[in-house]
Structure 1
């Protein structure tokens, strides 16, 4: 029996390793191409290891692409969205999980139904609203809306996590004269660090990779984010694959690093959504 279980584990691990290699191969191909010249990239049969290694591709890509300007714009949006999603969503979730008020659960169910609405349905009305307010061609439509709720999924995740915290902690604080906000700020949030990390990572990746939002609202190149700047780079230098691969690595690396260090928390956060209803 033990030999059979061990054999099943070996087969499972081999299957997972093979699947991982298949998923990682496009990233490896992009990375190896970023250290090649044009001649090496199109050699048949393909060269798996650059020889010689060309490091100047990154320098050349940075010279033709205002990477740091795009990075600054992206960081402004990302930092605002991460902070807004954590604070706004947790505050809404606190109301739906720890406070009692008439119609609370019904309102929450109505809010959840918005998850079934495609974002493209509200795209035109939202653009018209920001246009009439005079905020098109700025980072405001990309960085401010998250502060008005923090997204439905983040509220749901925080709510599920808050429900797992013993309510006796709230009641003891209220007896000592604490206000609702003090309970939220001093008790609930400090106990919800893992949920905050998960929401922060999700918001970071979503904002970092967002392409449609900047495409709709930004007109001037100096205000572009990295995702939109990379598209512009592809349109201008798409024939120079070695530079395009180097620019892609520069854009992708921060998101990969965040995901690599936060993958454990992401899995924990997914698990918390089913703790308690």
Structure 2
């Protein structure tokens, strides 16, 4: 029931059939996401014998040892540490560079800015796979293949037009008088950026950082191509290798346990920052 405050009284409004249908559609959509997660979770607590006997039956006894086996045997633990290093450093450097680029392209006036923006927008129509071969040749010639640090450099300096548009639109909505006042007070461009623009753009920067985190954590193609040492694999490649092992070893419950471990950071990120993402994504649009 919807509620309205009218003359100090609370008036209830009946939901229309369209509202009920929309809520039902959202509920069904939520179930399509929650049910597979729940199924994988209780499958990860079975024995392999129980799994092959009946995939829908609940486990008779909770086998938490599967998570320990996934952490050690399939090297999920090492992959998680590699991912923390790769994602953490790439996130800090990449988000900072995106903030600087967005500031320069939206708040500063210089010759060729419109041409630069046009080229950036053009990149949206070019599939990223086209740059794979020249990127690999460059990384190989620089000796940065099979290196997490090299992968960090590649992802940190590979700017995305989507993030630039998102953060640039937010920064563009800030009053121009802020920079004019700072310039009158003798502030340099860097002081204006770090002391005024950066603090006021926190909501937009956090939003971009969350999207970058999700993209980096789920990145599979880059680590799969550039990393050849199993000790340097990220979670995406480690899970792929574990899945390949299932062609010769039917240990699916341990694989499900590893999958649950890798999903924990994403679930936590969603639970903690879902409101912040929504707020940051709409705040710039409202101001603009």
Q: Who is 2:265 aligned against? A: 254
Does the 8 Å CA contact 2:82/2:232 hold for their aligned counterparts? yes
Does the 8 Å CA contact 1:89/1:149 hold for their aligned counterparts? no
* Aligned counterparts of 1:138 and 1:241: Cα–Cα separation in 2: 30
1:27-85 CA distances to partner (integer Å, 9 max, x unpaired)?
A: 111111111112322334721x3322221111222231222321221111101221122
Does the 8 Å CA contact 1:163/1:276 hold for their aligned counterparts? no
Q: Who is 1:94 aligned against? A: 103
Q: Who is 2:174 aligned against? A: 165
Give the TM-score taking structure 2 as reference length: 0.88
Q: Who is 2:40 aligned against? A: 30
Are 1:61 and 2:70 counterparts? yes
Are 1:39 and 2:46 counterparts? no
* Aligned counterparts of 2:73 and 2:208: Cα–Cα separation in 1: 35
Q: Secondary structure of 2:53's match?
A: coil
1:105-149 CA distances to partner (integer Å, 9 max, x unpaired)?
A: 231121111111111101001000110111111113320134436
Q: How big is the shift at 1:157?
A: 1.1
Q: Who is 2:256 aligned against? A: 245
- Taking the TM superposition and a 5 Å limit, the aligned residue runs for 1:1-277 are 5-44=15-54, 46-47=56-57, 49-148=58-157, 150-237=159-246, 239-271=250-282, 274=285
1:152-188 CA distances to partner (integer Å, 9 max, x unpaired)?
A: 2211111100011111111111100001111111111
4+ aligned runs moved over 4 Å, structure 1: 272-277
* Aligned counterparts of 1:116 and 1:274: Cα–Cα separation in 2: 24
* Aligned counterparts of 2:164 and 2:155: Cα–Cα separation in 1: 12
Instruction: Give the length in aligned residue pairs.
Output: 276
Q: How big is the shift at 1:230?
A: 1.3
* Aligned counterparts of 2:14 and 2:114: Cα–Cα separation in 1: 49
* Aligned counterparts of 2:129 and 2:277: Cα–Cα separation in 1: 27
Between 255-264 and 78-87, report the one with greater CA deviation: 255-264
Gap runs ≥5 in structure 2: 1-11
Q: Secondary structure of 1:5's match?
A: coil
* Aligned counterparts of 1:206 and 1:124: Cα–Cα separation in 2: 21
Gap runs ≥5 in structure 1: none
* Aligned counterparts of 2:159 and 2:199: Cα–Cα separation in 1: 19
Q: CA RMSD in A?
A: 2.2
Q: Secondary structure of 2:217's match?
A: helix
Does the 8 Å CA contact 1:87/1:150 hold for their aligned counterparts? no
* Aligned counterparts of 1:109 and 1:272: Cα–Cα separation in 2: 25
* Aligned counterparts of 2:35 and 2:142: Cα–Cα separation in 1: 46
* Aligned counterparts of 1:45 and 1:166: Cα–Cα separation in 2: 59
Give the TM-score taking structure 1 as reference length: 0.91
Q: Secondary structure of 1:187's match?
A: helix
